[in-house]
């Protein structure tokens, strides 16, 4: 039985693939809509979702070919053979974000994608909208899955009037009902090429967001090729029509409210943060917010993004654990020229060019750690430590009063931790509770 709509799945067979947080939220939403829900994940021992049949530790093809609707977590490629089998059998295949968006189409969605800066831009945009009197939901690819908000709508009146959504390239493979009121692609550097094949495939995935936008499509001029053929009005994040940074001001031209936005009181360090704030302001203006309503002086950063976690013995410790690739680490290092000690390491991405960090690290001391520590040490020199705990202990020994120690890893965290947030929390704990790990190594 084909599902009548996203609003009524009564009697429909729904399969949810992938049981991380977004998958669990989608399964609960489909169950609440009346579907017969099966969840599947190759991992063993996952807790079931109440009211759903669980097939964990394996995938059964009959679950795919017998489903009316298959809801896919972002980590599962749209080209997976079992998803192709489901399509051939007549199933609708959609991502979690696109599924939930079908229940929230009356709310304008401001969507952000790109390689770096997505989460911070969404975080800033949510603050700007709230200060302007709007009631934003901020989530999607980070924080709260959109399916959790859609579930709230079923049981209560939502105190939300606009969606601010971070959207990944994985989510854009199966976008479903996602239709932005305005969208931005912040930047594009090599990432996720194992999934998308090459930069052309990666860019094509990101372009989907612009193709679906009903309102302004924002992007930098170095990505102008992505704008070819876009029906939405194109606006530039570094030129006019759009926005340009001139000194301590953003100058908007060719938008609904032309003129300057003063950044002289912006409390966030780094050129990258100014770029993220520019994108956030651009999307706010696209929704009809006026320039005089944009309160940038009170913006605060997300956790794990250039976050000072403590000053101990007159040494400042800064957590930039979200810097999981070279480009993000470079932005963090440049934003803190006072950081004399920089901790780099974790599980590096294939082909990472750590040599690109060398100019920004001139005059600083590097401590390389983790699975990619030996590779980083071979390229950049400095000190080496086997673990984050050992790296923090070594930094504590080297640091002098007045120094700043920056964790900006340039690597993923999966060699030691569940994610970058887990790594950032451990870093903060180590700062305040010195490690007893004796496994230090210095060349």
Q: Which residue has the tokens 């924080």?
A: 143
Helix-helix angle 420-432:388-398, to 10 degrees: 40
Give me 22's structure tokens: 């977004």
Q: Which residue has the tokens 């651009």?
A: 282
pLDDT, averaged in runs of 10, over the chain (443 residues): 57 96 96 97 95 97 98 93 97 97 96 94 98 96 93 84 96 95 94 81 94 97 95 97 96 96 93 95 98 95 91 96 93 95 94 95 97 97 96 96 98 94 96 65 39
368 and 377 Cβ atoms separated by less than 8 Å: yes
CATH architecture entry for 307-432: Alpha-Beta Complex (3.90)
CATH 3.90.190.20 residue ranges of the chain are 307-432
Q: What pLDDT is stored for residue 435 in this prediction?
A: 58
Fold of 13-95: Rossmann fold (3.40.50)
In the beta sheet, which residues pair with residue 183?
Answer: 111, 217
Report the number of secondary-structure helices (H) and strands (E) in the chain.
13, 20
- Residues counted in the chain: 443
Phi, psi dihedral angles at 129 (to 5 degrees): -65, -40
Q: What pLDDT is stored for residue 174 in this prediction?
A: 95
Q: What pLDDT is stored for residue 92 in this prediction?
A: 96
Per CATH, the number for 102-293 is 3.40.1190.10
CATH 3.40.50.720 residue ranges of the chain are 13-95
Q: What pLDDT is stored for residue 269 in this prediction?
A: 87
């Amino acid at each position: 039985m084909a599902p009548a709509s996203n609003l009524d799945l009564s009697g429909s067979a729904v399969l949810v693939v992938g049981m991380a947080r977004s998958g669990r939220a989608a399964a609960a939403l489909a169950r609440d809509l009346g579907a017969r829900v099966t969840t599947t994940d190759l991992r063993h021992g996952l807790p079931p979702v109440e009211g759903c049949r669980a097939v964990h530790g394996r995938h059964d093809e009959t679950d795919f070919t017998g489903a009316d609707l298959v809801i896919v977590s972002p980590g599962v490629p749209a080209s997976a053979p079992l998803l192709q089998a489901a399509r051939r059998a007549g199933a609708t295949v959609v991502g979690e974000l696109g599924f939930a968006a079908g229940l929230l189409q009356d709310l304008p969605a401001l969507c952000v994608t790109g390689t770096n800066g997505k989460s911070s831009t969404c975080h800033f945009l949510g603050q700007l909208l709230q200060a302007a009197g709007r009631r934003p939901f901020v989530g999607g690819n980070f924080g709260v899955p959109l399916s959790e908000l859609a579930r709230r709508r079923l049981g209560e009146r939502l105190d939300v009037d606009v969606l601010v959504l971070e959207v990944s390239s994985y989510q854009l493979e199966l976008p479903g009902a996602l239709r932005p009121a305005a969208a931005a692609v912040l930047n594009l550097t090599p990432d996720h090429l194992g999934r998308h094949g090459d930069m052309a495939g990666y860019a094509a995935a990101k372009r989907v967001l612009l193709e679906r936008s009903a309102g302004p499509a924002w992007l930098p001029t170095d990505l102008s090729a992505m704008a070819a053929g876009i029906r939405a009005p194109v606006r530039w994040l570094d030129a006019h029509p759009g926005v340009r940074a001139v000194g301590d001001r953003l100058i908007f031209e060719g938008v609904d409210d032309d003129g300057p936005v003063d950044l002289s009181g912006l409390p966030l360090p780094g050129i990258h943060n100014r770029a993220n704030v520019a994108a956030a302001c651009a999307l706010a203006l696209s929704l009809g917010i006026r320039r005089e309503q944009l309160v940038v002086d009170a913006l605060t950063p997300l956790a794990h993004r250039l976050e000072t976690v403590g000053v101990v013995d007159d040494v400042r410790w800064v957590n930039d654990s979200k810097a999981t690739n070279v480009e993000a680490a470079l932005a963090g290092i440049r934003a803190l020229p006072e950081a004399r000690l920089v901790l780099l390491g974790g599980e590096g991405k294939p082909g990472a060019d750590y040599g690109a960090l060398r100019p920004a690290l001139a005059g600083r001391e590097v401590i390389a750690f983790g699975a990619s520590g030996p590779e980083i040490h071979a390229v950049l020199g400095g000190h080496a430590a086997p673990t984050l705990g050992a790296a923090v202990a070594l930094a504590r020994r080297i640091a002098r009063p007045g120094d700043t120690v920056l964790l900006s890893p340039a690597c993923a965290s999966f060699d030691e931790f569940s994610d970058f947030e887990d790594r950032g929390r451990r870093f903060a704990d180590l700062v305040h509770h010195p490690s007893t790990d004796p496994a230090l190594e210095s060349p």
